[in-house]
Amino acid sequence: MSEALRIQLLSPRLANQIAAGEVVERPASVAKELLENSLDSGARRIEVDVEQGGVKLLRVRDDGRGIAADDLPLALARHATSKIRELEDLEQVLSMGFRGEALASISSVARLTLTSRTADADQAWQVETEGRDMQPRVQPAAHPVGTSVEVRDLFFNTPARRKFLKAEKTEFDHLQEVIKRLALARFDVAFHLRHNGKSVLSLHEANDDASRARRVASVCSAGFLEQALPIDIERNGLHLWGWVGLPTFSRSQADLQYFYVNGRMVRDKLVAHAVRQAYRDVLFNGRHPTFVLFLEIDPTAVDVNVHPTKHEVRFREGRMVHDFLYGTLHRALGEVRPESQLATPAAMESVLRPTGQAAGEFGPQGEMGLSASVLERPVESVWRSPGAGYQGQRSESPLPAAEAQGVYREFFAPLPAGAAAATLPEQQGDIPPLGYAIAQLKGIYILAESAHGLVVVDMHAAHERIMYERLKVAMASEGLRGQPLLVPESIAVSQREADCAEEHGQWFQKLGFELQRLGPETLAIRQIPALLKQAEATRLVSDVLADLLEYGTSDRIQAHLNELLGTMACHGAVRANRRLTLPEMNALLRDMEQTERSGQCNHGRPTWTQMSLDQLDKLFLRGQ
């Protein structure tokens, strides 16, 4: 038999290099740790100098409180920190970092020099160390109040790690992204970045709305700011503010998504799920929303120490946070109308402050999140009798379930075969946001003249969205009818899933399901929504239970039903090559102005666009 392996203590150098593997992946992760230390020191100006993407040199200089001379060696020791004292401090961490291992880890894989001076010190002091020699050397130095940390030759003593670094541009792009994230978190701090001696980023302090908007434009592009909605809502101890991009400003990658919890940027699956739900009806397949959002919450209600790099958090009331985020964003996107999109850039307007259900007052699952204004809007048929044109016909009271099919059929009444020729409506007073129709192009597009120029509308896509929103309202008014199964469907689940099904039994009933527990790990489906097929229902229940256990909420049932309504709306919408009269076209424009999310069809494609008079003049070189 081979000799048993003996247990031994690791050397400080090896222990630090192992710890470095957790927090030091590349120059960008070094920059993150150093910048967070600068912010925690109270810095108001931070300068970053980089050479060769941060591999050769990464220097961070700040004007913070500095480090006392006696503490400099401790700054490079493991498990040494100025940010927490007791275990209870972990429950309300407000600083960016606190583990006390970053500088020790960095110094074990690079040549590190730390120079600092406090306000009450006569001079600055400097400590140096490098990976092969972990003993720090302290000496006097010249430096203003604040701290400079210089990291040279990253991974010089761990070649296996160094060869995994990417090209200089790639490493610098990662590093620059770290600075952008922190610059959005701290508008009160100036950030300056130079690469190989060239200035790349220069962001001054932003202490008012205009300067904060300028910083967002510098980091995320002016296009984002022009196509973003400002958000500011506070409820139940949660405060959400920032900017969310309109669906038309979506991206092919999730590369313009910044979410902060108490000033710390995180990528959290609960947050991502809530945002996905809010954008579900308005994004084209495969596209990703854009946003810069800040959530402020009681520090005791969130755990930020669940990941070595603190990219993840854990909310103590996850469902409440999820429903608050979903409700606020869903309502904000639903309130977008052509009029607001045609106004001055949305982010420069007064901050949007939704109330009522817009403030997140949704049910415990946040699913049937139709606003009171929508629910109170009477169900309207899309077309009246032949010859009457495109009009809305009011229904004085919510429809009973027995009349539901009749309501749906009304949506698909045929278009009138023809209508009397009509001239443009009287254009006195204010011109509507989408203007007045002047022609139809190729039986597909409506051309309209607005106060700003030319509006082009995809009539099928626009009509599809209008019908889809009205079908949702009709379903909400009528309720989701259930259809009992002749032979109940039995499904095998885990005990946790069965417990979850019992806990949410009433919620399932509201959505047309009736579930019965037959055993510790067996459920029976006795009733399903009338619009679903039995085979779909079985798989759907399993997926919904998985969501409920993961997020505390699920939108799969509603999403599936909405898909069916979307299909109905698509088949019932006015088809291409269908000639419309001017009154019909104008009625469609007016309905677009009143319909939620009318800027996109059910599949996320845009329904209209505008060319201003200035754009047309430039196109034809007028005035040049």
| Residue in 24, 36, 59 with CA at minimum distance from that of residue 165 | 24
The reply to whether 297 and 400 lie within a common domain is: no
The reply to whether 235 and 182 lie within a common domain is: no
The reply to whether 228 and 123 lie within a common domain is: no
| Last residue in a domain, options 203, 232, 250 | 203
> What confidence tens digit (pLDDT) does each residue in 22-56 have?
568 899 999 999 999 999 899 999 999 999 999 99
- Residues making up the chain, counted from first to last: 624
| Angle at the Cα of 271 from the Cα atoms of 20 and 337, rounded to 5 degrees | 140
133-162 mean pLDDT: 88
Instruction: Please report which confidence band the pLDDT of residue 544 belongs to, taking 50, 70 and 90 as the band edges.
Output: confident
**% of the chain with per-residue pLDDT over 70:** 75
Q: Is the pLDDT of residue 106 over 70?
A: yes
Residue 455 maps to a domain: yes
> What confidence tens digit (pLDDT) does each residue in 358-369 have?
333 332 333 333
| Last residue in a domain, options 168, 183, 203 | 203
Burial bucket for residue 465 (CB in 10 Å: 0-12, 13-18, 19+): buried
What is the predicted pLDDT for the residue at 150? 96
Structure tokens that stand for 454 in this block: 């030319």
Residue 118 maps to a domain: yes
Tell me the CATH number at 563. 3.30.1370.100
For 264, the domain range is 209-372
Tell me the CATH number at 26. 3.30.565.10
Tell me the CATH number at 214. 3.30.230.10
The reply to whether 284 and 336 lie within a common domain is: yes
The reply to whether 566 and 601 lie within a common domain is: yes
516/7: higher pLDDT: 516
6/516: higher pLDDT: 516
The reply to whether 274 and 164 lie within a common domain is: no
Least-confidence region, from 76-85, 209-218, 322-331, 528-537: 76-85
Element (H, E) at 62: strand 57-62
Residue 572 maps to a domain: yes
> What confidence tens digit (pLDDT) does each residue in 50-64 have?
999 999 999 999 999
Helix (H/G/I), strand (E/B), else coil: 495: helix
222/538: higher pLDDT: 222
Q: Is the pTM of this model over 0.75?
A: no
The reply to whether 195 and 332 lie within a common domain is: no
| Last residue in a domain, options 353, 372, 391 | 372
Give the CA dihedral 57, 34, 215, 247, nearest 10 degrees. 100
Structure tokens that stand for 311 in this block: 């990219």
Residue 2 maps to a domain: no
What is the 8-class DSSP label of residue 340? H
The reply to whether 426 and 484 lie within a common domain is: yes
What is the predicted pLDDT for the residue at 562? 78
| Residue in 32, 166, 22 with CA at minimum distance from that of residue 105 | 22
The reply to whether 331 and 262 lie within a common domain is: yes
Q: At what angle do helices 534-551 and 556-572 cross, to 10 degrees?
A: 130
Instruction: Please report which confidence band the pLDDT of residue 475 belongs to, taking 50, 70 and 90 as the band edges.
Output: confident
The reply to whether 331 and 461 lie within a common domain is: no
Q: Is the pLDDT of residue 88 over 90?
A: no
What is the predicted pLDDT for the residue at 549? 84
Q: Are strands 133-141 and 124-130 parallel, antiparallel or unpaired?
A: antiparallel
Top-confidence range, 170-174, 247-251, 315-319, 513-517 = 170-174
What is the predicted pLDDT for the residue at 134? 59
Residue 7 maps to a domain: no
Q: Which amino acid is at 431?
A: I
373-389 mean pLDDT: 30
What is the predicted pLDDT for the residue at 256? 94
Structure tokens that stand for 107 in this block: 């110094």
Structure tokens that stand for 537 in this block: 């229902």
What is the predicted pLDDT for the residue at 472? 82
What is the predicted pLDDT for the residue at 546? 85
**Cα–Cα dist 360/328, whole Å:** 5
Counting other chains too, the contacts that 231-236 makes at CB distance below 8 Å and 24 or more residues apart are 231/293, 231/328, 231/329, 231/332, 231/351, 231/352, 232/351, 232/352, 232/353, 233/328, 233/353, 233/354, 233/358, 233/359, 233/360, 235/324, 235/359, 235/360, 235/361, 236/320, 236/324, 236/360
- Provide the CA 367 distance to its chain's centre, in angstroms: 18
What is the predicted pLDDT for the residue at 571? 72
What is the predicted pLDDT for the residue at 357? 35
Q: Is the pLDDT of residue 407 over 80?
A: no
The reply to whether 170 and 225 lie within a common domain is: no
Number of domains comprising the chain = 3
Mean pLDDT across the chain: 78
568-580 mean pLDDT: 77
What is the predicted pLDDT for the residue at 303? 79
What is the predicted pLDDT for the residue at 429? 58
**Cα–Cα dist 436/582, whole Å:** 9
Residue 1 maps to a domain: no
108/608: higher pLDDT: 608
- Provide the CA 119 distance to its chain's centre, in angstroms: 41
Give the CA dihedral 267, 270, 275, 278, nearest 10 degrees. 180
407-431 mean pLDDT: 47
178-204 mean pLDDT: 95
The reply to whether 488 and 519 lie within a common domain is: yes
Give the CA dihedral 463, 466, 469, 475, nearest 10 degrees. -80
Instruction: Please report which confidence band the pLDDT of residue 530 belongs to, taking 50, 70 and 90 as the band edges.
Output: confident
481/323: higher pLDDT: 323
107-135 mean pLDDT: 85
Q: Is the pLDDT of residue 575 over 60?
A: yes
